[in-house]
Structure 1
Amino acid sequence: MGKLQKFFQKFKYRLIIFLAVLGPGIITAVADNDAGGVATYTVAASFFGMASQYMVIPITILLATTQEVGARIAIVTNRGLGSLIRERYGVKISLFVFIFYFIANQGVVLQNVSGLKSALQLFNLPWQLFLILICFALIFIVIKFNYKRLQRIFLFMILFYIAYIISAILTKPNWGEAIQESFIFPKKINVADFTYWFNFLSWMMAIAVTYTLFANHIKVADGYSAALSMTPIAGHLATVLFSVGLFSASILGLTIVPLATAYVFSEMFGFEGSLDADFKKGRLFYMFFIVQIVVALIITLFPQTSLFGLTLYADFLNAALLPIIFYFLISFSESTEIMGKYASHGLASWFLRLSAIVITIAVVVTFAGKIFHLG
């Protein structure tokens, strides 16, 4: 009986630790499916159908690898990547990486403000007014609420992603065919289309688009067009649910991405800043968060601005940043001085290096395809 009680106590302790990190882990994973992601998934599916999902398994493996390494570094060192870059490589390198990172993330913030605009238009609301109100409400909530309260809000918002699953079911797909087609390489894909990254939620979005738009030979340029085009095929409810998912994705991305930039800035340059700090103590932290949203809002309010072109360049910048991030991940994770007994070695080390090579090749091929119009 004593052994059984000890086992359950140990299990309870591990479960508490697991649940403590589960929330941030879910938020981090789901936030990848922001407005820019929704646009990418829907456009790809309208052109290639379920064949657009052929990369889901290898991309998921790469994503799991990088997130595990990043999390291990953070847990062992109790510091973020930005802090380690500044300590090991100096302020100049940190500044270069941060400028690159800031510009790329500013583009992602713009994608999410644009996605929010599209969602408001789909709901037939005066988008200019509501867009301004929502952006400033987000700023107010982030400044006033602490980390724990914000985490609960984020977890609640993730529930709205279920709308994509219901939307996919409403299209009455052939599930066997959908699964089979997801493993078939598309015959007419261009090298530039390797930028389409997917996971389960993107798979459900792809199903919704494939069995409505792709099946009827309708090609779209963004999530807004996709949602509108679904109405005559799958009904108004499918469009509403898709719009709800886009709204939730935009809000989550619009909060998480600028916060990530603010955290990196604070770490890299040694400023105090976190969601648990008040505005006076974390002034620069919050200012970086506010500036990114306000800049994206101003650009979006000008209708003549080509948001599609701007967000496309943001995707390219993010891709170009990946090999740099991998370099630092490999450098820090393999350092016994930094990681001690938790340093990457053997098979884990080689797999991380292989992942870096695959990512770098994908980035080079994508850029070459875009520059030289290969396909």
Structure 2
Amino acid sequence: QAAVVEKNIQKENYVQSRWDVIIGCILVSVVAYFIIVACAATIFHSGHRQITNAADAAMALEPLAGRAASTLFAIGLCNASLFAASILPLATAYTVCEGLGFESGIDKRPHEAPAFYSLYTGLIILGALAVLVLNESKQIPIILLSQVANGILLPFVLIFMLRLCNREDLMGPYRNTRILNVIAWATCIVVIVLTLLLVISSFFPHYVPQSIAGKASAAIGRF
């Protein structure tokens, strides 16, 4: 919603905006797929399966990249960190300010949207402090936990989004078609099932095989 408003997208640009989202989703999924394949061919195959810090991950890449493994991993990690440091706090600031009714937008000046810029800046500082203060061995679990938390919260967001997308009084002729609803609700159900498996395996590990629990956790982290 914030992205649409910031870009000043009109009804005439709906088709282009929709394809922008579709292509972006496809590219992200393709990249994620090859990340999984690359990790399976390097980290898993090399036997370095206990990744507790960045050095462990770099060592696991050594069979593929040789001596350049640490450099390759450092470049990739730096790139991901820069993106995350700028995009995630921004998305959070948008979500919080829109939910609470505060003025938001990077097209606004700081005095026009003080809550937005304060939250955005504060989250960046908080992230930097976490990196400086926390032990390196604790940072990897936090990264994994944040991804799993995103996956667990996703069904709640999807359900409300789908309900909004199907309201004729809001969407008019642009509401979801039957095919889109089938795909969207099927995806939502799959995520809910994976989330339930993860929660059950966490509190009652004897009821869910570890192999299934691990796959559920990985899938939820991917979402």
When the two structures are superposed, what TM-score results if normalisation uses the length of structure 1? Answer: 0.45
The reply on whether 1:264 has 2:108 as its aligned counterpart is no
Structure with larger RCO (C-alpha < 8 A, sep 6+): 1
Residue of structure 2 in register with 1:284 after alignment: 115
Residue of structure 2 in register with 1:329 after alignment: 161
The reply on whether 1:364 has 2:196 as its aligned counterpart is yes
Q: Deviations over 1:12-44 (max 9, x none)?
A: xx99x849984x887x75xxxxxxxxxxxxxxx
Contact 1:212 1:234 in 2 (8 A): no
- The 1-side partners of 2:180 and 2:64 are apart by 48
Q: What value does the CA root-mean-square deviation take over the aligned residues?
A: 3.2
How many residue pairs get matched? 193
Q: Deviations over 1:88-136 (max 9, x none)?
A: xxxxxxxxxxxxxxxxxxxxxxxxxxxxxxxxxxxxxxxxxxxxxxxxx
Aligned CA distance change for structure 1 residues 233 and 335 (closer, same or farther; 3 Å): closer
The sequence identity of aligned pairs, in percent, is 23
Residue of structure 1 in register with 2:147 after alignment: 315
Residue of structure 1 in register with 2:5 after alignment: none
Residue of structure 2 in register with 1:293 after alignment: 124
1:212 is matched by which residue type in structure 2? T
SS at match of 2:106: coil
Superposed displacement of residue 215, structure 1: 2.7
When the two structures are superposed, what TM-score results if normalisation uses the length of structure 2? Answer: 0.72
Q: Deviations over 1:233-281 (max 9, x none)?
A: 6312343223211110111011111101111122222222211111111
Moved more, 271-280 or 199-208: 199-208
User: Highest CA radius of gyration, 1 or 2?
Assistant: 1
- The 2-side partners of 1:233 and 1:276 are apart by 44
Superposed displacement of residue 364, structure 1: 0.7
Q: Deviations over 1:52-88 (max 9, x none)?
A: xxxxxxxx6xxx9xxxxxxxxxxxxxxxxxxxxxxxx
Give 5+ residue unaligned stretches, structure 1. Answer: 1-13, 30-59, 65-197
- The 2-side partners of 1:314 and 1:286 are apart by 23
Residue of structure 2 in register with 1:185 after alignment: none
- The 2-side partners of 1:288 and 1:274 are apart by 12
Superposed displacement of residue 223, structure 1: 6.6
Superposed displacement of residue 321, structure 1: 1.3
Superposed displacement of residue 341, structure 1: 1.2
Give 5+ residue unaligned stretches, structure 2. Answer: 1-11, 211-223
1:284 is matched by which residue type in structure 2? A
Written as runs of structure 1 = structure 2, the 5 A alignment for 1:3-18 is: 18=16
- The 2-side partners of 1:283 and 1:292 are apart by 14
The reply on whether 1:226 has 2:57 as its aligned counterpart is yes
Residue of structure 2 in register with 1:165 after alignment: none
